[in-house]
Structure 1
Amino acid sequence: MFTIDQIRQAHSKVQSGADFPSYIKEIKNLGVTHYEVYVADGRADYHGNDNTASWPSKYAALSVANTPDREHFLSILKAHQQGQSDYPTFCRQCAETGVYKWIVSLTDMTCTYYDQAGNQLLTEHIPG
């Protein structure tokens, strides 16, 4: 069983999107099967086969745009994955482009981004 402290320790090593694959590997080794991150306040729910751990709000509430701008989101995601932004900046930009949440499946090694209506904006494979 994993704890939120173990998740925080793994997350503390992430400086940019370029660090994401190693973060995923580390929390997968802890037993996380999937997790959801809510852009509006950064809270996250981590799930495993035998437990769940929740990370409370990480920052002041952001207003998530009602209408998603998928093309602009794709450009900020690419920049983030190349290490051009930190996590707080990426979250703010996600809110501005209408990303409500993302779900990371460590079983399928995918990350799926959703708008407020629950529509999938993008599913991508996580390098592993």
Structure 2
Amino acid sequence: MHPVLNLIQQAKDEQWPFPQTLSRLRDAGVLYYHVTWGDDYKTVFQLTDNTRIEENHPEFDTEVASHYSEQAAKIALHEHQQGKTTYPEWLNEMARAGVNAYRVDANKRTVTYFGINSENYFVEEVPGE
């Protein structure tokens, strides 16, 4: 298994807060990663050495709503940040809000959440260094 995937597993096992996970991924050479769950759940990591790592989880299956609600997505995100939902529950809530992907920029420390249509998105800054 690639060291980045080992790092992700460690973060899950030890329940690191997201800002810590993001810092550790950046330190491991991750420029950004993109997560999609419209058809199949997939994560693609882009590293500083031009390596791309793909991780697929076909067992995760959710239907993305055709109607985009930024407000509902932000509520789901806030609930998840407070530890009120698991990651799969959060993804389902985001899908119900019409969100089907997010992109994490490790250097800018931002997460951009995308709806099915390209004009539907919002950006959140991640605290930390």
Range class of TM-score, shorter chain:
0.7 to 0.9
**Which residue number in structure 2 is paired with residue 99 of structure 1?**
99
Aligned residues: 125
User: Partners in 2 of 1:10 and 1:118 — Cα distance?
Assistant: 33
Residue 26 of structure 2 aligns with which residue?
Answer: 28
Question: What letter is aligned with 1:44?
Answer: T
Shift of the alpha carbon at 1:11?
A: 4.0
Compute the displacement of 1:101 (Å): 0.4
Q: Which amino acid aligns with 1:29?
A: D
Q: 1:10 to 1:47 in 2, by over 3 A?
A: farther
Where do 4+ consecutive residues of structure 1 move more than 4 Å? none
Give 1:84 deviation, angstroms.
1.0
Displacement of 1:78: 0.7
Task: Considering fraction of residues, name the structure with more strand.
Answer: 2
Match of 1:123 in 2: 123
Specify whether residues 46 and 10 from structure 1 end up closer, same or farther in structure 2 by C-alpha distance, changes over 3 A only: farther
Question: Among the aligned pairs, what percent are the same residue?
Answer: 23
TM-score by length of structure 1 reads 0.86
DSSP-derived class of the 1:64 partner: coil
Tell me how far 1:7 sits from its aligned partner.
4.0
Q: Deviations over 1:44-66 (max 9, x none)?
A: 00001211111112533211111
Matched, 1:111 2:111: yes
Give the secondary-structure state (helix, strand or coil) at the position aligned to 2:108: coil
Please tell me whether the aligned partners of residues 32 and 106 of structure 2 are also in contact (alpha carbons under 8 angstroms). yes
AA in 1 matched with 2:26: K
| Two-structure CA RMSD over aligned residues (Å) | 1.9
Bigger mean CA deviation after superposition, 77-86 or 5-14 = 5-14
